[in-house]
Amino acid sequence: MSTSESMFAREELGFVRVASISPSLHVADVEYNVEQITAALERAATQDVQLAVFPELCITSYSCADLFYQRHLLDAALDGLEHIAQATAMLYISCVVGMPILVDGRLYNCAVLMGEGRIAGIVPKTYLPSTGEFYEQRWFTSADRALPPTIELGGRQVPFGTDLLFVAEEMPACVVGIEICEDLWAVTPPSGRLAIAGANVLVNPSASNELLGKADYRRDLVRQQSARCLAAYIYAGVGVGESTTDVVYSGHGLIAENGALLTESERFQMDTQMIVADIDVQRLDHERVKNSSFSQAESADPLRRLPFTLTRAFQPAAPLVNRPLPRTPFVPADPTRRAEHCREIFNIQTVGLSKRLSHVNASHVVIGVSGGLDSTLALLVCVRAFDRLGLDRRGIVAITMPGFGTTSRTRTNAERLAQDLGVTLRTIPIGESVRLHFRDIGHDENVHDVTYENAQARERTQILMDVANQIGGLVVGTGDLSEAALGWMTFNGDHMSMYHVNAGVPKTLVRYLVSWCADELFTGATANVLRDIIETPITPELLPLGKGEQLEQKTEDAIGPYELHDFFLFQVVRYQFAPAKVFFLARQAFAGVYSDEVILHWLGVFYRRFFAQQFKRSAMPDGPKVGSVALSPRGDWRMPSDAASTLWMAEVERLRLAWT
């Protein structure tokens, strides 16, 4: 295997491709059902599925009723199981199928896990519904009684019981636990116990019928159980081929992961339905490691860990991941959901500032406004916080401090916005004071280096702090989460404030928050100014302008596209993924937008800056957390300022050698 193939092997990246399948079935027609199941396995194998889950009692069909007493049907089911096992050997795939199994004179509703022709274990159903249209206790025995640890099947002893965990031989991080239909509806589903014991892939062969509103309830159950167990959950429901004597079945299939629905089947289809997704066990294990409640939970009794084959299917060097992969993980693509996020985040920001102002009994704040996105959002937060507290907006002192790189567009927008909002506007040019400072320290004004830039940022911060002292107010910071991650700020300059309202907001989301404010909270001239600010190029305005106020400094030219950096930030901080996996996900998310070379270049920049700039984050002022990714040194991100980036940069370099 080549270096690139090794880096992007599915097992190395932590992905397992699974399928939920609802085959076309005939009631009690085992031969037909087995044909449909094996045909579905063949189709799944062509899509590199490694584990396929079929519905409850699918070999016989669920709705056989008193035909379950027929030994002829039970024997046919055993023969059918052997045919399916042979198919798994030929197709290099594992699967879970449902069937009735007779053990010591008792009939059990069972799920069988097998792969490469070998049955790994059999799990009987615990909770047997016997109300309304369900009467399983008429035929089946619950697994809550004493069970033999093994049963004889096909001439060999096979593990049997509800205490089984199935560990993939080729990928030990993948541990499968099985519960059956009604088990999920129970007060304490078996999947909870299985998850505590290590199962991170939960499967449920089911036969839930359809009633008005039941699909929504079922969907929520699956999502919530996957979240509660910090696991993937694969649900496979029987289809319309079941008996319609009193009820109708729909073939509902669901695949969820830690509370998120990855994919869902279309219900009420006459033919076989299959949904496929890649679940990320590496991500799930990370969630468990971080979750103190999970680490404190204890399993009531030990479970048996059994090996099963998770075939490594043929795949290209860089396979596509089959799961939702948003390019902007901080920004929902759906406009309605995005608006809800913006409303919630804006409320968090304004309430945070309101509480701080109330606590220190302050009726004045000072904020630097540049006509850019970040300071605009911070100013809008100040306005709403003052409105919440019933304070006079004139207590908000907005200071615009034009310097060597300030454009008339940004200065005009800053002034117009302050005037429209009814806050106090002060204009304090910094050119003269910065030139005096250059003379004091012996710096040549024509040398446009880091000293040239940072002197301006620190002069602006000094003005803000001193004016705050004059009026007895707080300095409200304007920098955002993305700038904190990259250290794109001047230490003890714009890095510092008395409350940092944008601290938890990534750059890609700032634009949408300002846009939401323009659409929902403000009208007329104010909204028009906000929309022009949204269209303004991102720049710190620290270098002199060219001819015709031509910008000589654009932030993304210097440090890279924020949409890439925010993508990196989310994967690195939220899930702690290694560079190879971050690159794999980025090259798929941004396919056709950025080349491999460009992605790798900026990934290297991200890691280098993220490590080198930790000292700035270690001295960050207070500010509200708004999402699952935050960098506060007091709660969310604790890293030594002198941590070495060697391991991470070395992997980026290996990727560069393999892919460029």
pLDDT in tens, 411-468: 999 999 999 999 999 999 999 999 999 999 999 999 999 999 899 999 999 999 999 9
Task: Clarify whether residues 497 and 380 are in a common domain.
Answer: yes
Q: Please give the angle made by the CA atoms of 637, 642 and 643, to the nearest 5 degrees.
A: 65
Quick check: 125 pLDDT over 50? yes
Tokens of 192: 């909870």
**25 pLDDT more than 90:** yes
> Which of the residues are catalytic?
56, 125, 181
Both structure tokens of 320: 């596509």
* pLDDT band at residue 558 under the 50/70/90 scheme: confident
> Looking at the domain assignment, is residue 326 inside a domain?
no
Adjacency order of strands within the sheet including 51-53? 118-124, 106-115, 94-103, 51-53, 15-22, 273-280
Question: Which residue's structure tokens are 């003052």?
Answer: 386
Enter the DSSP assignment of 69. Answer: G
SS3 call for 129: coil
Residue 198, pLDDT > 50, answer yes
Task: Say how many CA atoms lie within 13 Å of 179 toward its Cβ.
Answer: 26
User: Domain check: are 588 and 536 in the same one?
Assistant: yes
Residues 6+ apart with CB under 8 A from 435: 445
| Whole-number Å distance between alpha carbons of 55 and 61 | 9
User: Which CATH number do you get for residue 482?
Assistant: 3.40.50.620
Residues 109-120: what's their mean pLDDT?
Answer: 96
Indicate if 288 and 389 belong to the same structural domain: no
Q: List the CATH number of the domain containing 155.
A: 3.60.110.10
Kindly state whether residues 60 and 194 are assigned to the same domain. yes
C-alpha–C-alpha distance, residues 402 and 545, integer Å:
12
Closest-CA residue to 13 (of 585, 552, 592, 589): 585
Q: Are 551 and 537 in contact (CB under 8 A)?
A: yes
- Please tell me whether residues 72 and 198 are part of one structural domain: yes
Domain count, the chain: 2
Q: Rounded distance, CA 365 to CA 382, Å?
A: 8
Position 313 scores a pLDDT of 53
Same domain, 38 and 177: yes
Angle between the 562-569 and 596-612 helix axes, to the nearest 10 degrees? 60
**Same domain membership, residue 288 and residue 344:** no
Express each pLDDT in 586-618 by its tens digit: 999 999 999 999 999 999 999 999 999 999 999
Instruction: Classify the phi-psi angles of 234: left when phi > 0, otherwise alpha if psi is within -120 to 50, otherwise beta.
Output: beta
Q: Which two tokens stand for residue 181?
A: 């239909």
As a whole number of angstroms, the distance between CA 352 and CA 389 comes to 12
Do 248 and 380 lie in one domain? The reply is no
What is the rounded CA–CA span in Å between residue 487 and residue 477?
15
* Cβ pair 34, 80 in contact under 8 A: yes
Residue 35: give the domain boundaries: 3-308
pLDDT in tens, 71-81: 999 999 999 99
Report which residue type is found at 526: T
For residue 267, give the nearest of 224, 218, 225 by alpha carbon.
218
Query: Of 273, 308, 343, which residue sits at a domain end?
Result: 308
As beta bridge partners, residue 115 has 94, 118
pTM: 0.91
Q: Looking at the domain assignment, is residue 315 inside a domain?
A: no
Closest by CA to 463, choosing from 496, 498, 415, 428, is: 428
> 163 or 297: whose pLDDT is higher?
163
Regarding whether 424 and 365 lie in a shared domain, the answer is yes
Pairwise CA distance, residues 344 & 337, whole Å: 11
Look at residue 322 and tell me if it is in a domain: no
Shared-domain flag, residues 356 and 277 = no
User: In the predicted model, is pLDDT for residue 552 greater than 60?
Assistant: no
Residue listed under structure tokens 């024997």? 75
Examine the pLDDT at 584 and tell me if it is beyond 70: yes
Do 11 and 59 fall within a single domain? yes
Q: What are φ and ψ of residue 238, in 5° steps?
A: -70, 155
> Which residues have a Cβ under 8 Å from the Cβ of 609 and sit 6 or more positions away?
485, 486, 487, 488, 559
- Which of 292, 308, 324 is the last residue in one of the domains? 308
| Dist CA 346 CA 515 (whole Å) | 12
- Provide the pLDDT for residue 1: 42
Instruction: Tell me if 452 is assigned to some domain.
Output: yes
Q: Decide which of 660 and 327 is more confident.
A: 327
Does 289 lie in the same domain as 360? no
- Which pair of structure tokens corresponds to residue 348? 């968090």
Q: Establish if 443 belongs to a structural domain.
A: yes
Contact assessment for residue 581 and residue 571, using Cβ atoms and an 8 Å cutoff: yes
Q: What is the pLDDT of residue 302?
A: 85
**Closest-CA residue to 233 (of 286, 282, 178, 190):** 178
In a domain, 108, yes or no: yes
Helix or strand or coil: residue 87? helix
Amino acid at 161: G
Is 313 within the bounds of a domain? Answer: no
In a domain, 99, yes or no: yes
